[in-house]
Amino acid sequence: MMSSGPNVDVEDLNWLIVGLGNPGERYERTRHNVGFLVADELARRASVQIKRLECQSLVGRFEYEREVAELVKPQTFMNLSGEAVKCLLHKIDRGLERMIVVVDDLALPFGSIRLRKKGSAGGHNGLKSIIGSTGTDEFGRLRIGIAPEHPVANTKKFVLDSFPAGDSAEVVEIVERSADAVLAVIRDGFESAMSEFNG
């Protein structure tokens, strides 16, 4: 059961779910913004809005299985995501051990997802920024595969392009499964969720 938590005291916060992407209408449905799409799906399920301004981010709060979580969409643009995350982590009762960063991954096949408790940036500028700002790579992340079927000459253009219309149904399914994975981590812990979704 998910619900909004407008009266939850900030001292009771537990989870920080950070969907990475770029702000603005131009980037809304691009491959690089799949982290935003997952945050929006979780907000839809909880009937909350991600609109509170804090630390150069849009933030929304919800409750799930007696846990309180915040959905975060940094507005700094991808390459500076770490500035927003570092600021948010300085607030009361927020820690790396209960943070999940949701990102696109060019190294994973389109449609696959992988939960990890820690790891390198793997060439992802958003993760690189967060690791640089926090000084550690020991935080959870959900990587969502966007790899093309065939090699592309310009990977920057590829990730900043929108998903093809023909992939729209599969994108919806990927986003829904990714949201399920995030909730599984909150409900059952990383190890159990990894066993369920990394197969």
**77-129 pLDDT, tens digit each:** 999 999 999 999 998 778 999 999 999 999 999 999 999 999 999 999 999 99
Active site residue 90: no
Per DSSP, helices labelled H in the chain are 34-46, 81-89, 125-134, 155-160, 168-188, 190-197
> Domain map of the chain by residue range?
2-197
Return all residues near 137 (Cβ < 8 A) that are at least 6 apart. Answer: 118, 119, 120, 121, 127, 131
Measured in degrees and rounded to the nearest 5, phi and psi for residue 79 equal -65, -15
Specify whether the backbone of 53 is left (phi greater than 0), alpha (psi in -120 to 50) or beta.
beta
Rounded to an integer, the average pLDDT of 29-43 is 97
Residue range 158-183, pLDDT digits in tens: 999 999 999 999 999 999 999 999 99
Mean pLDDT value across the chain: 93
Residue range 74-84, pLDDT digits in tens: 999 999 999 99
Rounded to an integer, the average pLDDT of 26-34 is 96
Residue range 64-75, pLDDT digits in tens: 999 999 999 999
Class of 2-197 per CATH? Answer: alpha beta
DSSP structure class, residue 95: -
Of 32, 90, 124, 150, which one is the catalytic site residue?
A: 32
Measured in degrees and rounded to the nearest 5, phi and psi for residue 156 equal -60, -45
